[in-house]
Amino acid sequence: MTDKKINTCVLGASGYTGSDFIRLAARHSHINISALTAHSHAGKEMAEVFPHLATLDLPRLTTLDEVDFSGIDAVVCGLPHGTTQKIIAELPDTVKIIDMSADFRLRDAQTYEQTYGKPHQANELQKSAVYGLTELNRADIKNTRLVACPGCYPTAVLLALSPLLGSEVISPDDIIIDAKSGVTGAGRGLKQNTLFSEAGEGLSAYGVAVHRHSPEIEQELTKVGGLDVMVNFTPHLVPMSRGELVTCHVRLADDASADDLRSTLGTHYKNEPFMHILPQNTYPATQHVRGSNQCHIGVFGDRISGRAIVIAVIDNLVKGSAGQALQNFNVMFGIEETTGLEQLPMFP
């Protein structure tokens, strides 16, 4: 484990994921926040943009062009999708990168273009990127320069299903995912559908049959299962700030039972500090992981013979983004993985 301070730059510090990384990093004994960028807020103090961070001694927000990367050890990117590739490609080779956008998650350039509507701008760099789901790719994350943190929905889904598919206790066919997320998943930019008067006191589906996280989920489940996997994925917007719940309806393989699924997950995640497999008949709830890097998973037998229901909950801004980024940061720099992530969920 390193003893020196790691000079870290956060790109897109005025967004929810960037600011939450800073909140977590404030309790990290090895991180020195050396630079913060925010194009629309350049020149401001961080406290002007996020008053809850006013007690921290942070550098003033700047434009990207003002950052001297010669003294930076790590860059954490919280920029919008489609803006990161060109920027990362121009960073010094000595800088390690943890990207929270979608720009390096999809390994196939054509799939990326179809999903995000624009050509990939750093195909050579894409070849070296590691998909940053820590619990499944820890060894590769440790030895790479560029980590592509998963989306929040794929994080919850893959943590719930990857060990089951890899152990062949569920079928790769007929996977149905009903997903729900708080409004921070849409970012901090002004959008009509996330206004309080529009999102409050209601529940709505969006991105039906075309959501951009579907190819990401299918890419990783296909890798684990060894067979082409397609999922039925439907996301919903819930009138809460944080939190994510995915309900995965799966077909059992051979003579497997819901108890077998629970046992498989328990064995697979036995030594994982942020994974908690709930006892039988215990329901996962977003309020039980809020503000933490934890993931809770529950397994239930379906009343339809041969099927089971797997439910996972995470905080979409922590385990689904900034916390996972910090977890990957720790792995990349040989730091105890839980450093900066020890906080328990906030309840109520």
Q: 15: closest CA among 43, 41, 44, 34? A: 41
The DSSP-derived string for 5-53 is -EEEEEETTTSHHHHHHHHHHTT-TTEEEEEEE-GGGTTS-HHHH-GGG
Query: Contact at 8 Å (CB) between 241 and 287?
Result: no
The encoded tokens of residue 275 equal 């994974």
Coil, strand or helix at 241 = coil
Q: Write 195-199 long-range contacts (CB < 8 A, 24+).
A: 199/237, 199/239
| Cis before 279 (ω within 30) | no
Distance CA 272, CA 275 (A): 6
- Strand segments, DSSP code E, in the chain are 6-11, 31-37, 61-62, 74-77, 96-99, 130-131, 146-148, 175-182, 204-205, 231-238, 244-251, 275-277, 295-301, 307-314
Distance CA 255, CA 278 (A): 22
CA distances (Å), origin 82, targets 89, 141, 217, 222, 311: 13, 23, 19, 25, 31
Single-letter code of the amino acid located at 141:
I
Provide the annotated active-site residues: 152
Distance CA 66, CA 57 (A): 19
Single-letter code of the amino acid located at 252:
L
Query: Contact at 8 Å (CB) between 38 and 14?
Result: yes
Q: Which residue has the tokens 């996020």?
A: 50
The encoded tokens of residue 182 equal 């708080």
